[in-house]
Amino acid sequence: MRIDVVSIFPEYLAPLELSLIGKARQDGLLKLTVHDLRDFTTDRHRTVDDTPYGGGAGMVMKPEPWAQALGAVAGTAAAGEGELRKPVLIVPSPAGERFTQAIAHELAEEEQLVFACGRYEGIDERVLEWAADHFTVRPMSLGDYVLNGGEVAVLAMVEAIGRLLPGVVGNPESLVEESHSDGLLEYPVYTKPSSWRGRDVPAVLLSGNHGKIAQWRRHEQYRRTAERRPDLLEAFDAGTLPRADRTAFADLGYDIEDGRLRRRADA
């Protein structure tokens, strides 16, 4: 995969040289280049922002440096059968679509991703309209809060996407049993010693009974998700659950109707 990041603070992206993503770059699994937006300006002061039309606080990023930068990094990848596939332009924005694990999986299939890091009040809206001729444009939010710039959002998204690329994470099994991989939160995990400061590891994990361990872990996923993220259970397919799992949900206060979980009014 090829990733291009455009930012006025290229040094903000230095952590992408570390750990698994840094190693993936060294190993040639990921070709990641960070570009300085100011290199695409033409004035002496390397200006990237100006006052907003209509008034109001803050500054807005000027369109021309963005068009120059994005034009320089836009490639087209063959999608097979002579068809050309546009690269995906991800524009971090609190007003974007919420970035999720499912979207990370989708984006991990792409040939080229370009990230446009906004600053100030954001990028002139016409850049996104213009870019749609050259890219599949996806404004993307990390969550319902406001950051100072897109760089932190890019660090998070590149890490989430990059670790899904083949060969990046040593044991691909660890990607399967993770929070959000099956629409639920992960079960709690423990390591040695088995007894620590008066707290024991749940006995089932020491039993050697793999069936019982798998069932305990699934039920812990249900309990944790019901407690912390009940919204995730609305989309959970409970239609084919074994009886013990149905009982686990009943104990948590959920009925199953037409394969969907419904929280009981008295729960």
- Residues at the interface with ligand SAM (CB under 6 A): 92-95, 117-119, 121-122, 141-143, 145-150, 153
- CA–CA dist 246, 65 (Å, integer): 57
Question: Nearest distance from residue 158's CB to ligand SAM, in Å?
Answer: 13
Residue number with CB closer to ligand SAM (18 or 146):
146
**With respect to ligand SAM, which residue has the nearer C-beta, 63 or 149?**
149
- Cα-Cα-Cα-Cα torsion 172, 177, 182, 186, nearest 10 degrees, comes to -140
With tokens 């033409």, the residue in question is 42
Q: Are 71 and 132 in contact (CB under 8 A)?
A: no
> Nearest approach, Cβ of 7 to ligand SAM (angstroms)?
10
Question: Which C-beta is closer to ligand SAM: that of 156 or that of 201?
Answer: 156
Smallest distance from ligand SAM to CB 242, Å: 39
261 and 238 in contact (C-beta within 8 Å)? yes
Of the pair 9, 216, the CB lying nearest ligand SAM is at 9
Which letter does DSSP use for residue 11 in this model? G
What lies within 8 Å, CB to CB, of 137 at 6+ separation is: 88, 89, 91, 128, 131
**Residue placing its CB nearer to ligand SAM in the complex, 101 or 141:** 141
Of 128 and 184, the one with the shorter C-beta distance to ligand SAM is: 128
Q: Between residues 7 and 221, which has the closer beta carbon with respect to ligand SAM?
A: 7
Which amino acid is residue 160, in one-letter code?
Answer: A
* Alpha-helical segments (H) within the chain: 19-26, 63-73, 101-107, 125-131, 151-162, 173-176, 210-228, 230-233, 243-251
Residue nearest to ligand SAM (CB): 118
- Cα–Cα distance measured from residue 188 to residue 75, given in angstroms and rounded to the nearest whole number: 43
| Shortest CB 145 distance to ligand SAM, Å | 6
Q: Minimal distance in Å, beta carbon 140 to ligand SAM?
A: 7
Question: Residue 261 in 3-state DSSP?
Answer: strand
CB of 267 to ligand SAM, least distance (A): 33
The CA distance from 264 to 267, in Å, is 5
Token output for 84? 């050309």
